[in-house]
């Protein structure tokens, strides 16, 4: 599978989707002007990945901020990984949040209530 490695900007997140090294991460800030255009190749990549996923997938969300449009896409991403779980594969979502950002922790907890995927919450300080 082709590697996706998008360098983030002030408005778009860093995205690394690398099946060969089992590194899956979205980090930074997500408020792209056209959220569908930005995330379309990511959603397509996950669809392709779902056809032959790794034995265990650990997906890292390390978002500092995301807007409402991005929150819908994040749910879409999680629903795709839920399908992978339903097909018998191990998936864990590592939800990273700054220890001072209760809102980001709560967002992760709300997603965890919606999808049937194990969530791990990882607090960081810097």
Q: What is the pLDDT of residue 126?
A: 79
Residue 47's CB: how many other CB atoms inside 10 A?
A: 11
Q: Residue 66 has which token pair?
A: 């995301």
Q: What is the pLDDT of residue 118?
A: 97
Q: Please write the tens of the pLDDT for every residue from 42-100.
A: 999 999 999 999 999 999 999 999 999 999 999 999 999 999 999 999 999 999 999 99
Q: What is the pLDDT of residue 46?
A: 98
Q: Spell out the alpha helix ranges (H) of the chain.
A: 35-51, 68-86, 102-114
Q: Please write the tens of the pLDDT for every residue from 99-112.
A: 999 999 999 999 99
Distance of CA 81 to the CA centre of its chain: 9
Sequence-separated (6 or more) residues with CB below 8 Å from residue 114: 75, 78
DSSP category for residue 25: E
Domain boundaries, the chain: 4-21+34-124
Query: Hey, what's the torsion of the CAs at 110, 59, 98, 65, to 10 degrees?
Result: -70
Question: How far is 121 from 37, CA to CA, in rounded Å?
Answer: 29
Confidence of residue 119 (pLDDT cuts 50, 70, 90): very high
């Amino acid at each position: 599978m082709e590697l996706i490695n998008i360098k983030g900007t002030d408005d778009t997140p860093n995205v690394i989707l690398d099946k060969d090294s089992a590194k899956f991460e979205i980090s930074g800030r997500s408020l792209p002007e056209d959220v569908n255009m930005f995330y379309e190749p990511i959603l397509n990549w996950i669809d392709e990945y779902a056809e032959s996923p790794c034995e265990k997938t650990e997906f890292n969300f390390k978002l500092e901020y995301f807007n409402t449009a991005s929150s819908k896409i994040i749910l879409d991403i999680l629903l795709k990984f839920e399908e992978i779980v339903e097909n018998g594969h191990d998936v864990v979502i590592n939800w990273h949040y700054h220890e001072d950002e209760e809102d980001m922790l709560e967002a992760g907890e709300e997603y965890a209530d919606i999808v049937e995927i194990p969530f791990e919450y990882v607090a960081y300080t810097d």
